[in-house]
Every structure is written in C-alpha cells, then in structure tokens.
C-alpha cells in the first residue's frame, strides 16, 4: 500500500475540508417565532431540501415587515412561506413562487371587548374602532378592505399589538392564529373571531431559477413524508407532556377559520378536560389527516365518515356519538347543470376533480372506472381547476367548498349542481386509545344536546 507523506496527508485533509466548506449557503427569511415548533419544523424540512440539492441552509427569523425588506433588497435567497397576495408587492419582484404549498395560515381578530360581531355578519365596522395589525402582513390588507376598516395602524409584532390592546390604544388586533396560540391564555384578549385562511408557499430568488423545479418536487414530496403533525408528535410531544401532563392531538379537515372547526374544538376540549387531558387540534388536508390518524401520529380525527370507519377497523376506534353530517355535492360552471348521482356523471362524459382522501366518495367512484378523475390536495386547488375550465365538475364536501369559496379568489361564478351523497360523521381515535373510548363517548354525549349533530353544516 502506498504511504502518504505528512505533507501529502495534510493536503488531502485540507482538500476534503475545503470541499465540505465550499458548499454554498441558501438563506431564507421567515416570519415566525424562534422558540416555536413551527420554526423548528421549517428549519428541519428546508435543511433537508437543500442538503439533497447540495447546499447548506440558514433560516433568518424576523418580523413580517423585516422579511419584506430583506426580500426587497435581495439580501436573502428566499422566504419560507408567503401567501399569494404578497406577489402584488414590490418585495416580490425578484422572487418566484414554488408551486407546492407548504401549509396554510389563518388570521383572527382579538379584542378585550365584545365588539367582533360585524366580522361574522360581513357588515361594515364602526368607523371609530381602531384596528391594529402586523406591519407588512399583506393578507391583513385584504381584511381591511373587505370590512371597510378605516381607522387602522400597523404595529411591529404580536407583542406590540397585545400591549396596545391591553393599554386601550387599539380596540382590535388582527394576527395569525398560530402566533396567538404561542401566547399563554391569560395574555390573549378574551374575545376572538377566526377570519380567513390562505395557503402559503415558499419563494425562491430568480438567481436560483434552476433550483425551482427540483425544489418544487422536493417540497411536494417532503411535506407529505414529514408533515407538521408527525414532526410535532416525534420532536415536541415529550416537551409538551412535561409541561402539560396528558395530551390528545386530533386532526381536522376543515380550516381553523371555519365555524365548524371552532365548534368542534370547544366540544372536544371540554370533553377531554373532564377526562384529564389537554386537547389540541390541527388542520390537515383530508388524505394526510387520515394517514396520520391510522399511523398513530395523531391521536384521533374530529370527524370521519361511516365508510372510512368500516374500511379502517384495524387501525381506529369509532366513537358512536354522531358529531356531524356531511353532504357531497357537485359544482359546475353552468347554472343549468343538475346532477343527482354518479350514474349521471358517468353518462355525461364529464371530467371531474376531487380532493384525495375523501373516502366515502373514492369508494363509490371505484364503480365508475370510465370517469376521468383529477385529484388535488386542497379544495381551493380543485375549484381553481374548475374555474379555469380544465375540468367539467368539482365534487366535494359542502362545508369545505363553501369555506374555500369565501376565502379564495375565483374569477368565474360556480354553481351548486346537486347532492349525490349524504353521510353521518363520527369522532375516531387511533386504536392505541381504545381504553378511553367509552369514557369519551359518555362525555361527548354530555357536550352534545340531542339533535345537535350538525357541526359541519
């Protein structure tokens, strides 16, 4: 074997070190709290993206306004998550949107006074009310316009907004729900109304255009492989248990800004409190929520169909308390289209789009192999496909569609073409929690008055 001299060996070691150090660093801005699960999840997932592409990764956490300044000056290679309204700003001019969404954010309104009813009725706000929001939060501008809010002020961050509410400097604070959930309960104003949800996307500087396609593919694949909920379960569950004792973490396929989500959250939180558990509930797309409940990454689901329950008897335990009814309906671009069953869809030759994971619909579609089916992750994506005339019909759950229509800009009128399926929904637990099923049934029956099983209507 050839022996290396000390000088030669040193040269080899230096070359290896230089090769390792020479990897370019990609720096992303991110408007999230540094000491939060969200921050650590983003850093964990994006570091894996760029490691696969041959780069080091650095996450710069700062305020929304400062992320916009960094992007405007070109000081960062990308941003972890922005909504599409961001693209109308000057800060977006040199950045490209990655097509695969990495999640969603929900805005809410908080106040120390019971003055938030006009958000529920879509009427104009009293002009004298002063409303604060985080500087640079583009989707807040949409809310200001929608509700004709005239007396507004942009503040630097969540803490400054909370201080302003407490000191009476503003009447209402608008913020991301996840930001507020990081605050202990007593710090939050007692009155809250959820507003709108938006999908969020990574943005990449144009100088890295060559990375856009592989980054998009990795994003779509990795978010499915390592969901926020699986990361939370694996990396944060131990920490939460130390702080809070027993925890139940459910998934739910309706957005947090939906009244259905808020109603379910209240009911489950009260029921599990009696059983000695803290309760958390996260929004997930339908298919991912089902997968995480089956695997045990989530402890249960807020509402699943009897079809799903029959198929998954080996993985889950159904709670025999009806929590909701769901309607699967058809949407069309024509007001004249009327559909009452899948036979009519098949005979018409229409192409359809559905969301993945809607088991009660998927099972029935197995009997119609000739129907041309497109599948998407989010209702918003399906409705946009319909509006762009790339499919003829959208078929999905009424609650999800109506909420998406309220929170998504659709440039074409869409029409309800008819009901094809109605089914009762039930809570489910992962089978590892079968021992508490009877007790949970009893407590849910206490929470739900007879006949009030219409959370998702």
Continuous segment of H or E residues that includes residue 43: helix 37-52
What residues contact residue 336 under an 8 Å CB cut-off, 6+ apart? Answer: none
Domains 22-101+201-225 and 326-423 share a fold: yes
The neighbour count for residue 139, using CB atoms within 10 Å, is: 24
Contact 119, 149 (CB under 8 A): no
- Tell me which of 288 and 301 has the higher pLDDT: 301
Structural tokens at position 93: 């001019």
Residues 432-443: pLDDT tens digits? 999 999 999 999
| All structural domains of the chain with their residue ranges | 22-101+201-225, 104-199, 240-323+428-447, 326-423
Q: In the CATH scheme, what is the code of domain 104-199?
A: 3.40.190.10
Residues 217-237: pLDDT tens digits? 776 665 555 555 555 555 444
From the candidate CATH numbers 3.40.190.10, 3.40.228.10, 3.50.50.60, 1.10.287.990, the one assigned to the domain spanning 240-323+428-447: 3.40.190.10
- Mean pLDDT, to the nearest integer, of 61-77? 88
- Tell me which of 158 and 409 has the higher pLDDT: 158
Taking the C-alpha atoms of 390, 394, 400 and 404 in order, what is their torsion angle to the nearest 10 degrees?
A: 30
pLDDT attached to residue 13 = 39
CA separation, residue 231 to residues 43, 179, 237, 323 (Å): 12, 18, 9, 28
Q: How far apart are CA 79 and CA 86, in angstroms?
A: 11
Query: Is the domain 22-101+201-225 a CATH 3.40.50.920 member?
Result: no
pLDDT attached to residue 11 = 43
CA separation, residue 282 to residues 154, 193, 251, 265 (Å): 29, 17, 5, 10
* DSSP string across 191-236: EEEEEEEEEEEEEEEGGGGGGHHHHHHHHHHHHHHS-HHHHIIIII
Q: Of 190, 192, 172, 224, which Cα lies nearest the Cα of 106?
A: 192
Any bridge partners for residue 396, and if so which? 329
Mean pLDDT of the chain: 81
Contact 290, 357 (CB under 8 A): yes
Which range is least confidently modeled, 26-35, 243-252, 381-390? 243-252
The neighbour count for residue 291, using CB atoms within 10 Å, is: 19
Residues 181-212: pLDDT tens digits? 666 556 778 888 877 778 888 999 999 999 98
Topology (CATH level 3) of domain 326-423: D-Maltodextrin-Binding Protein; domain 2 (3.40.190)
């Amino acid at each position: 074997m050839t022996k290396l001299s000390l000088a030669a060996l040193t040269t080899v070691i230096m070359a290896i070190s230089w090769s390792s150090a020479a990897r370019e660093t990609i720096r992303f801005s991110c408007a999230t709290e540094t000491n939060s699960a969200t921050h650590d999840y983003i850093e964990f997932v994006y570091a894996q993206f760029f490691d696969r592409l041959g780069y080091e990764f650095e996450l710069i956490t700062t305020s929304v306004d400062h992320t916009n300044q960094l992007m405007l000056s070109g000081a960062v290679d990308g941003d972890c998550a922005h909504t599409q309204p961001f693209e109308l700003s000057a800060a977006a001019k040199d950045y490209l949107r990655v097509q695969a969404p990495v999640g969603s954010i929900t805005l809410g309104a908080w106040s120390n006074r019971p003055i938030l009813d006009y958000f529920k009725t879509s009427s104009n706000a009293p002009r004298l009310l002063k409303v604060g929001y985080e500087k640079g939060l583009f989707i807040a501008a949409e809310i200001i316009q929608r509700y004709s809010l005239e007396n507004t002020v942009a503040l630097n961050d969540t803490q400054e907004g909370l201080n302003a509410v407490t000191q009476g400097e503003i009447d209402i604070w608008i913020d991301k729900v996840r930001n507020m959930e990081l605050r202990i309960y007593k710090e939050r104003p007692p009155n809250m109304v959820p507003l709108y949800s938006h999908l969020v996307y990574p943005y990449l500087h144009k100088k890295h255009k060559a990375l856009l396609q592989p980054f998009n593919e990795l994003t779509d694949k990795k978010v499915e492989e390592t969901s926020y909920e699986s990361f939370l379960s694996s990396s944060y569950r131990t920490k939460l248990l130390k702080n809070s004792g027993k925890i139940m973490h459910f998934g739910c396929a309706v957005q947090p800004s939906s009244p259905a989500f808020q109603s379910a959250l209240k009911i489950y939180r009260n029921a599990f409190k009696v059983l000695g558990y803290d309760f958390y509930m996260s929004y997930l797309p339908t298919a991912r929520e089902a997968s995480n409940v089956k695997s045990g990454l989530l402890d249960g689901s807020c509402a699943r169909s009897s079809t799903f329950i029959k198929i998954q008897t080996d993985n889950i335990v159904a709670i025999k308390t009806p929590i909701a009814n769901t309607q699967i309906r058809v949407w069309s671009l024509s007001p004249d289209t009327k559909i009452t069953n899948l036979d009519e869809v098949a005979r018409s030759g229409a192409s359809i789009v559905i969301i993945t994971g809607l088991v009660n619909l998927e099972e029935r579609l197995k009997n119609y192999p000739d129907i041309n089916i497109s599948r998407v992750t989010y209702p918003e994506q399906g409705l946009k496909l319909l509006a762009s005339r790339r499919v003829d019909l959208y078929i999905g759950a009424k609650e999800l569609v109506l909420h998406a229509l309220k929170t998504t800009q659709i440039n074409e009128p869409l029409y309800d073409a008819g009901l094809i399926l109605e089914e009762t929904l039930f809570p489910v637990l992962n089978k590892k929690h079968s021992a508490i099923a009877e007790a949970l049934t009893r407590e849910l029956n206490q929470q739900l008055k007879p006949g009030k099983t219409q959370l998702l209507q």
